[in-house]
């Protein structure tokens, strides 16, 4: 029984019996998540979060789907279910991704609790301490954070304005690598899309060198002109695990992702998932299936593309108007991000402190690198900020950058 004034938990100074694993001791917080805490203030114009626009969430369709699920199959929706996922949803995914000459069956599909769980499961089944893992430079921070739990040895492959350079994947570089992690469509953080010729070259490397590729594709549906390019999976199906998500085309709160791959690999991922969470929530899988099963995405996704294209156009126009001439940036044809490169010597982590003081936020580029970081880079997300605020935020940011360049020259 607690005595008067006794705290319900012991103080931090005497909790010496909790012995963390080495893995836990090496954990660090996501740089983006820490930044997002600051941007929750309503007066901050935030280009930081990689969040889809809430305006794209199909609330009415979700409400109706939830009503049908809980009316027609409530017990099944609220019960435990198969680790592999809700069979009709897996069948829908298999049918949707059977294209470009490649056939997917439901046995090739695993439903995950968001793409982030997919990354975790992939790390668990492929990475031992010290295993070589190849990543783009820069690469998606969430993947780096997930894989780093398993203590790999990272190898960076260089990129240019068109993305990853397949010719850099020499036999010496890929030898012994567990996999290459790549985001070929509107990459996070750069917004770049890998051209067709490079996709074919990358698939050829995978086949020739026996290189496994993790193709992470949360943004592929968001090409503004609707000009989809074939997946790496369709070009080298025996060598690719394809990761998809419902977060950007329905809603991230569903926490629904999926992995498509060779059956033996999917079977091993199923075993890892059984130990992680048994299965992705039955009710959210069924609700998502109810929403998408009759072709809803064919009209919904174009509306997202239209909105995001307008937002991107507004930001690109503002950058052209307000950025100093020494700054350069990507011009995305889809997705949610623009990558800004400033002259060498400008540290965007320091710039962020001044930007937040001006009620503007972005993500510094350094955390997206596993080797020597390019500290003069930053990521801008435009999809949740209305055009009039984009103009204000970019104007403030441009003034801060111009001031930093003036101070550097002084």
| 22-50+299-407 CATH pick, 3.10.20.600, 3.90.1150.10, 3.90.1170.40, 3.30.465.10 | 3.90.1150.10
Nearest CA to 312 out of 186, 134, 147 is that of 186
Q: Are 55 and 307 in contact (CB under 8 A)?
A: yes
- What does DSSP say about strands 163-164 and 132-136: parallel, antiparallel, or unpaired? unpaired
Q: What is the pLDDT of residue 405?
A: 87
Give pLDDT tens digits for 287-331: 999 999 999 999 999 999 999 999 999 999 999 999 999 999 999
CA dihedral for 118, 120, 124, 128, sign (positive or negative): positive
Residues 159, 137 contacting (CB under 8 angstroms): yes
pLDDT tens for 335-391 read: 999 999 999 889 999 999 899 999 999 999 999 999 889 999 999 999 999 999 999
Q: What CATH number labels 75-294?
A: 3.40.640.10
CA 212, CA 181: separation in Å to the nearest integer? 9
Give the strand pairing for 240-245 and 213-216.
Answer: parallel
CA pair distance 240, 234, nearest whole angstrom: 9
Angle made by CA atoms 200, 202, 204, in degrees to the nearest 5: 70
pLDDT of residue 7: 59
Tell me the C-alpha distance between 308 and 46, whole Å.
16
Provide the b/e sequence for 318-350 (b: ≥16 CB within 10 Å): bbeebbeeebebbebbbbbbbbbbbeeebebee
Q: Decide which of 50 and 101 is more confident.
A: 101
pTM: 0.93
pLDDT for residue 107 is more than 80 = yes
Indicate the domain borders of the chain.
22-50+299-407, 75-294
Please give the distance of CA 187 from its chain centroid, rounded to a whole number: 8
Give pLDDT tens digits for 11-46. Answer: 555 556 788 888 888 777 766 666 667 667 788 999
């Amino acid at each position: 029984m607690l005595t008067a004034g006794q705290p319900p938990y012991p103080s931090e100074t005497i909790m010496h019996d909790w012995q963390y694993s080495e893995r836990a001791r090496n954990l660090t917080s996501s740089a983006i998540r820490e930044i997002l805490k600051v941007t929750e203030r309503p007066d901050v114009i935030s280009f930081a979060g990689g969040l889809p626009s809430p305006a794209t969430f199909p609330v009415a369709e979700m409400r109706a789907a939830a009503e049908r699920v809980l009316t027609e199959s409530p017990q099944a929706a609220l019960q435990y279910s198969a680790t592999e996922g809700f069979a009709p949803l897996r069948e829908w995914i298999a049918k949707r991704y059977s294209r470009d000459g490649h056939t997917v069956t439901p046995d090739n599909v695993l439903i995950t609790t968001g793409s982030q769980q997919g990354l975790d499961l992939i790390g668990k089944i492929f990475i031992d301490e010290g295993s070589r893992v190849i990543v783009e430079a820069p690469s998606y921070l969430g993947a780096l954070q997930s894989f780093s739990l398993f203590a790999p040895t990272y190898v960076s492959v260089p990129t240019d304005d068109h993305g990853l350079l397949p010719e850099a994947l020499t036999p010496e570089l890929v030898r012994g690598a567990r996999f290459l992690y790549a985001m070929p469509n509107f990459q996070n953080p750069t917004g770049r899309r890998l051209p067709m010729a490079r996709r074919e070259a990358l698939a050829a490397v995978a086949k020739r060198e026996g290189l496994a590729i993790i193709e992470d594709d949360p943004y592929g549906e968001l090409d503004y002109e609707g000009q989809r390019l074939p997946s790496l999976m369709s070009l080298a199906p025996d060598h690719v695990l394809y990761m998809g998500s419902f977060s950007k085309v329905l809603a991230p709160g569903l926490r629904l992702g999926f992995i498509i791959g060779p059956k033996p690999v999917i079977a091993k991922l199923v075993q890892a998932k059984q130990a992680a969470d048994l299965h992705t929530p039955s009710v959210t899988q069924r609700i998502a299936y109810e929403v998408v099963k009759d072709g809803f995405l064919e009209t919904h996704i174009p509306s997202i593309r239209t909105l995001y294209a307008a937002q991107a156009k507004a930001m690109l126009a503002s950058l052209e108007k307000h950025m100093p001439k020494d700054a350069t940036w990507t011009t995305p044809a889809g997705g949610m991000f623009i990558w800004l490169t400033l002259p060498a010597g400008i540290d965007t982590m320091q710039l962020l402190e001044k930007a937040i003081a001006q009620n503007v936020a972005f993500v510094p580029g350094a955390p997206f690198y596993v080797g020597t970081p390019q500290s003069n880079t930053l990521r801008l997300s435009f999809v949740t900020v209305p055009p009039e605020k984009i103009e204000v935020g970019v104007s403030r940011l441009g003034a801060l950058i111009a001031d930093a360049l003036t101070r550097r020259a002084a």
